[in-house]
Amino acid sequence: MNTILYPSREKWAEILQRPAVNPFELEETCKTICEEIIKHGDDILRKYTWYFDRVKLDDIEEPEEEIQESASLVDPDLQQAIRNAKKNIEAFHRLQLSAPKTYVNENGFRCWQEERPIEKVGLYIPGGNAPLFSTVLMLCIPANIAGCKEIFLCTPPGKDGKINPAILWTARLCGVTRIFKVGGIQAIGALAIGTETIPKVDKIFGPGNHFVTAAKQWVTRYRTAIDMPAGPSEIMIVSDDSATPAYIAADLLSQAEHGPDSQAILVTNREDIAIRVKQETERQLGELPQGSMAFKAQEHIRLIVLNDLEECIEMVNQYAPEHLILNIRDYLSFTKKVQHAGSVFLGNYSPESAGDYASGTNHTLPTNGYARSYSGITVDAFRKKISFQEIFREGLSYLGNTIETMAANELLEAHRKAVSIRLKEEPLK
């Protein structure tokens, strides 16, 4: 945990440098595994599940009886909590559906846009220490609202060869079509290429470690789209003297426990706040289980003191955080100044955990600076837009000279003639 006081702008880039994650170094591994999947299909999934996870797979697809059994294995209180979260997530994402947009020109033509769902989507749910059933909600709910016909889910099995019951139960609750016990590069490759068991999908969604990130970027070569590149999870908090240090410390640690390379940064205009947050973070860290990832990630916690809040927001926009908390007195006066962030939390009572689970916004967000160019997951991510145009003869007469002039100047004579041949026709009697 480092405290940095009033750094010059020239040092910001160095201070904000993220833990090194270079998916391109893994390209050869991704290439090898994908080429083997093309040749040998399911056998390669079993091979690499044993190699990476030390799990021997019999059935790659989750049996229906185990999915049904999950209802009896998930605590009723957790089931109700998941239903409560599902309700909010559905309500927020339904607001994202848009009406058709039509442009009508009075001279004889019109253009409009219609949306279609992406038919087959693959959802990747990371394994590891925690069963991320919340990510099932965040991916499957917008996929269903978008109207995707088939929703396939891949997640690595535990050491017992089984998927956590909470993931199975949530997947069934949310309408996942089929579930597969495969993780890592081999899961992404299977979804992109297809095997005897796992169908090829049109687009792959979901977070993952640097192996998964590298695989997602690699498999675009197989005409499969991805939601976004990603890196380690991260949070940036902006605070002034109205903030509660204990709350800030809790938010920093909640993000740090995602993994050893997670990054958590406080940016404040008050030295006393930085001191108190450091003390509180150390105190709360001592209350966490010794095995918590937060212990490993604490070296990536940074407490930065700048001159004023305007400068703090400038640093936010340079860093482009996945999660941003504006823990300041007049936060609404600063929201318009935030240009680059995945999801923003406002005030003392908006912890990042709320967005991770139950407030309704999506927690699948751009990391590693990609908030400069990517959005978090929305219903739009599961849909595509098709444009239509209907041009009558009078409309083509109105557009004709414009089209012909432009085509001629681009030396595309066939383009020009496609218009002129129509305009030379005698009008219908």
Task: Write the pLDDT tens digit of every residue in 113-125.
Answer: 999 999 999 999 9
Q: Is the pLDDT of residue 106 over 90?
A: yes
Average pLDDT estimate for 316-341: 97
What is the rounded distance in angstroms from the CA atom of residue 387 to the CA atom of residue 63? 41
pLDDT of residue 252: 96
CA 270 to each of CA 13, 97, 238, 240, 266: distance values in angstroms, whole numbers, following the listed order:
21, 42, 11, 6, 11
* Per annotation, catalytic residue among 62, 115, 322, 352: 322
Higher pLDDT, 24 or 151: 151
Mean pLDDT, residues 223-235 taken together: 92
Query: Would you state the structure tokens that stand for residue 101, as one six-digit string?
Result: 């947009």
pLDDT of residue 408: 97
CA 118 to the chain's CA centroid? 17
> Other C-beta atoms within 10 Å of 27: how many?
14
Percent over 70 (pLDDT), the chain: 97
Catalytic residue from among 323, 352, 363, 425? 323
128/103: higher pLDDT: 103
Distance set, CA 134 to CA 83, 206, 299, 379 (Å): 11, 12, 27, 17
231-375 has the same fold as 23-228:
yes
pTM for this model (two decimals): 0.94
Helix/strand/coil for 227: coil
pLDDT band at 21 (very low <50, low <70, confident <90, very high): low
**What would the pLDDT profile of 65-83 be if each residue is shown by its tens digit?**
999 999 999 999 999 999 9
Q: What's the one-letter identity of residue 306?
A: L
Among this protein's residues, is 93 annotated catalytic?
A: no
Buried b / exposed e over 149-184, threshold 16 CB at 10 Å, is: ebbbbbbbbeeeeebbbbbbbbbbbbebbbbbbbbb
Are residues 380 and 360 in contact, defined by beta-carbon separation less than 8 angstroms?
A: no
Q: What is the pLDDT of residue 129?
A: 66
| Torsion angle of the four alpha carbons 338, 342, 348, 351, in this order, in degrees rounded to the nearest 10 | 180
Q: What is the pLDDT of residues 164-208, one digit of tens each?
A: 999 999 999 999 999 999 999 999 999 999 999 999 999 999 998
Least confident among 19-33, 252-266, 373-387, 403-417: 19-33
Q: Which fold has domain 231-375?
A: Rossmann fold (3.40.50)
3-state secondary structure of 203: strand
CB 224 within 8 A of CB 190: no
State how far the alpha carbon of 409 is from the alpha carbons of 359, 412, 420, in Å. Answer: 55, 8, 15
What does the alpha-carbon distance between residue 53 and residue 158 come to, in Å, rounded to a whole number?
8
* Topology annotation, domain 23-228: Rossmann fold (3.40.50)
Lowest pLDDT segment from 279-293, 302-316, 319-333, 409-423: 279-293
Q: What is the pLDDT of residue 291?
A: 67
Distance of alpha carbon 224 from alpha carbon 268, whole angstroms: 42
Structural domain spans, the chain: 23-228, 231-375
Kindly report, residue by residue over 343-397, the tens digit of the pLDDT: 999 999 999 999 999 999 999 999 999 999 999 999 999 999 999 999 999 999 9
> What pLDDT, on the 0 to 100 scale, is given for residue 130?
76
The chain-wide mean pLDDT, for the chain, equals 94
What is the arrangement of strands in the sheet containing 343-346, beginning at the earlier edge strand?
2-5, 301-305, 263-268, 234-239, 323-327, 343-346
pLDDT score of 71: 95
Would the pLDDT of 148 be above 70? yes
Q: Which of 12-21, 65-74, 149-158, 354-363 has the lowest mean pLDDT?
A: 12-21
pLDDT tens digit sequence for 258-306:
888 889 999 999 999 999 999 999 999 989 886 677 777 788 899 999 9
Helix/strand/coil for 125? coil
Active-site residue flag, 322: yes
SS3 317: helix
Considering only CA atoms, which of 192, 203, 207, 206 is closest in space to residue 225?
A: 203
SS3 259: coil
> How many Cβ atoms sit within 10 Å of the Cβ of residue 122?
27
Q: Is the pLDDT of residue 429 over 80?
A: no
Contact 265, 297 (CB under 8 A): no
